[in-house]
Structure 1
Amino acid sequence: MKKFEDIRSPDQIWEFTTGVFTKLLYRGVSGNQSKILAENILVGVPRMRQLRVKMNTCEQAALFDEFYKTCFDYFREEIEDKEPFGLKTDSWIYKEPDANERIYHGHFGAYDGGGYQFEFSRNSRETWKGLRELQDNVWIRYGTRAVFLDFAIYSANANLLCVVKLLFELIPTGGVISSSRLFALKLFLFSSLADYLVLICELVFLFLTIYLIFLAVVRACKSKRNTFRKNKKSKLLDYSILAMSLLASSAGLTRYVVLTQFQMKHKADLVNSTAYRNFDFMIQLQKYFCHARCALLVALLIKMLTFLSLFKSVNLILSAFGKVKSELVTVTIMMFAIMTGFVVFGLIVFGDHVVQLYSVWSGLFTMLSLHVGGLYFYEEPEYASPKWAPIYFSAYILLVKIMYCNAFVALMIYGYDKAVKASVEDPSPHFIIRQVDAIFKFFLAKIKRYDLVRLREMDEIIRKNAADYDALQLILRKHGWTTLEINLVFKKYGVVRGDDLSIETMSEIYDDAHARNQLFIESDSHFRIAAEMEKVEKINCLFGE
Structure 2
Amino acid sequence: MAVPNAFNLTNNMENTFLSKLDKINVSVDVYYWLENELLPKVSADGYTADGQSVLVGLVRLRQVRVPLDTCNFHGVSGSRLLSLYFFDMCAEDYTRGSAVKSHFHPGWTKESNLTDTSSPWVYRQTDSIWALWHYDSGGYVEDIDPRLPDYNHRLSELRNMSWIDRQTRAIFVDFTLYNANVDLFCVVSVLVETPATGRARAQVDLPVLRLHLYNQTTDLILLTFQIAYVIFLTYFIYYAVRGILKDRMEYFKEIWKVLDLIIVSLSLIAVAAFGARMVLTENTLANYRENNKSFLNIAPVVLADRTLLNVVSTLAFIGCCRCCKLLSGNNSLSLMQKTFGRAIKPMLAHGCVIVVVMLAYVMLGNISFGGYVESYSTIYNAFLTVTNFVIGSYQLEDYVLFPTLGTIFFISFILFMNFVLLNFFATVMMDAFFTEKETFVIPEDREIVTYTMNRIRARMPGWCHGHGHAENQSPDGVESDPATTSFGSSENGCDEKRLPDMETTE
2:126 equivalent to 1:126: no
2:89 equivalent to 1:91: no
2:261 equivalent to 1:239: yes
Partner in structure 2 of residue 138 of structure 1: 162
**Does the C-alpha gap of structure 1 residues 266 and 83 become closer, same or farther in structure 2, counting only changes over 3 Å?**
closer
Partner in structure 2 of residue 45 of structure 1: 58
Length-normalised TM-score, structure 2: 0.78
Following the alignment from structure 1 to structure 2, what is the Cα–Cα distance between the partners of residues 120 and 393? 52
Q: How does 1:447-466 map to 2 (within 5 A)?
A: 465-466=483-484
Q: Rg larger in 1 or in 2?
A: 1
Partner in structure 2 of residue 259 of structure 1: 281
Of 371, 375, 387, which aligns to 2:390?
371
**Does the C-alpha gap of structure 1 residues 218 and 105 become closer, same or farther in structure 2, counting only changes over 3 Å?**
closer
Does structure 2 conserve the Cα–Cα contact (< 8 Å) formed by 1:122 and 1:274? no
How big is the shift at 1:300? 1.6
Q: Any idea what SS the aligned residue of 2:149 has?
A: helix
Of 422, 425, 434, which aligns to 2:448?
434
Q: Any idea what SS the aligned residue of 1:10 has?
A: coil
2:30 equivalent to 1:28: no
CA deviations 1:491-518 (Å, max 9, x no partner) are xxxxxxxxxxxxxxxxxxxxxxxxxxxx
How big is the shift at 1:464? 7.3
Q: Any idea what SS the aligned residue of 1:161 has?
A: strand
Following the alignment from structure 1 to structure 2, what is the Cα–Cα distance between the partners of residues 2 and 157? 23
Partner in structure 1 of residue 381 of structure 2: 362
Following the alignment from structure 2 to structure 1, what is the Cα–Cα distance between the partners of residues 188 and 137? 14
How big is the shift at 1:388? 1.9
Does structure 1 conserve the Cα–Cα contact (< 8 Å) formed by 2:43 and 2:55? no
2:251 equivalent to 1:228: yes
**Does the C-alpha gap of structure 1 residues 2 and 296 become closer, same or farther in structure 2, counting only changes over 3 Å?**
closer
How big is the shift at 1:227? 5.4
Following the alignment from structure 2 to structure 1, what is the Cα–Cα distance between the partners of residues 32 and 287? 37
Residue type of the partner of 1:18? E
Does structure 1 conserve the Cα–Cα contact (< 8 Å) formed by 2:66 and 2:92? yes
Does structure 2 conserve the Cα–Cα contact (< 8 Å) formed by 1:2 and 1:16? no
Length-normalised TM-score, structure 1: 0.73
Partner in structure 1 of residue 412 of structure 2: 395
Unmatched tracts of structure 2, length 5 or more = 1-17, 109-115, 457-479, 487-506
Following the alignment from structure 2 to structure 1, what is the Cα–Cα distance between the partners of residues 259 and 205? 36
Of 30, 35, 42, which aligns to 1:13?
30
Residue type of the partner of 2:424? A
Of 212, 215, 227, which aligns to 1:188?
212
How big is the shift at 1:40? 0.6
Following the alignment from structure 2 to structure 1, what is the Cα–Cα distance between the partners of residues 98 and 165? 17
**Does the C-alpha gap of structure 1 residues 224 and 311 become closer, same or farther in structure 2, counting only changes over 3 Å?**
closer
**Does the C-alpha gap of structure 1 residues 329 and 120 become closer, same or farther in structure 2, counting only changes over 3 Å?**
same
Q: Any idea what SS the aligned residue of 1:353 has?
A: coil
How big is the shift at 1:45? 0.8
Q: How does 1:168-207 map to 2 (within 5 A)?
A: 168-207=192-231
Paired-residue identity, %? 21
Q: Any idea what SS the aligned residue of 1:80 has?
A: coil
Unmatched tracts of structure 1, length 5 or more = 443-461, 469-545
Does structure 1 conserve the Cα–Cα contact (< 8 Å) formed by 2:243 and 2:251? no
**Does the C-alpha gap of structure 1 residues 224 and 387 become closer, same or farther in structure 2, counting only changes over 3 Å?**
closer
Following the alignment from structure 2 to structure 1, what is the Cα–Cα distance between the partners of residues 443 and 19? 71
Is the helix fraction higher in 1 or 2?
1
Following the alignment from structure 1 to structure 2, what is the Cα–Cα distance between the partners of residues 165 and 25? 14
Following the alignment from structure 1 to structure 2, what is the Cα–Cα distance between the partners of residues 291 and 174? 36
Please give the root-mean-square deviation of Cα atoms over the aligned residues, in Å: 2.9
**Does the C-alpha gap of structure 1 residues 416 and 294 become closer, same or farther in structure 2, counting only changes over 3 Å?**
same
Partner in structure 1 of residue 465 of structure 2: none
2:92 equivalent to 1:73: yes
2:346 equivalent to 1:327: yes
Following the alignment from structure 1 to structure 2, what is the Cα–Cα distance between the partners of residues 354 and 226? 52
Residue type of the partner of 1:138? S
**Does the C-alpha gap of structure 1 residues 328 and 127 become closer, same or farther in structure 2, counting only changes over 3 Å?**
same
Q: Any idea what SS the aligned residue of 1:213 has?
A: helix
How big is the shift at 1:177? 1.4
Of 398-407 and 355-364, deviating more is 355-364
Does structure 1 conserve the Cα–Cα contact (< 8 Å) formed by 2:63 and 2:172? yes
Residue type of the partner of 1:104? A
Following the alignment from structure 2 to structure 1, what is the Cα–Cα distance between the partners of residues 317 and 194? 40
Figure out how many residues of one structure are paired with residues of the other and give that number.
433
How big is the shift at 1:324? 2.0
Residue type of the partner of 2:262? S
Does structure 1 conserve the Cα–Cα contact (< 8 Å) formed by 2:82 and 2:89? no
Of 256-265 and 15-24, deviating more is 256-265
Following the alignment from structure 1 to structure 2, what is the Cα–Cα distance between the partners of residues 282 and 233? 35
Following the alignment from structure 2 to structure 1, what is the Cα–Cα distance between the partners of residues 202 and 255? 48
Residue type of the partner of 1:37? D
Does structure 2 conserve the Cα–Cα contact (< 8 Å) formed by 1:84 and 1:92? no
Does structure 1 conserve the Cα–Cα contact (< 8 Å) formed by 2:107 and 2:163? no
Partner in structure 1 of residue 69 of structure 2: 56
2:185 equivalent to 1:161: yes
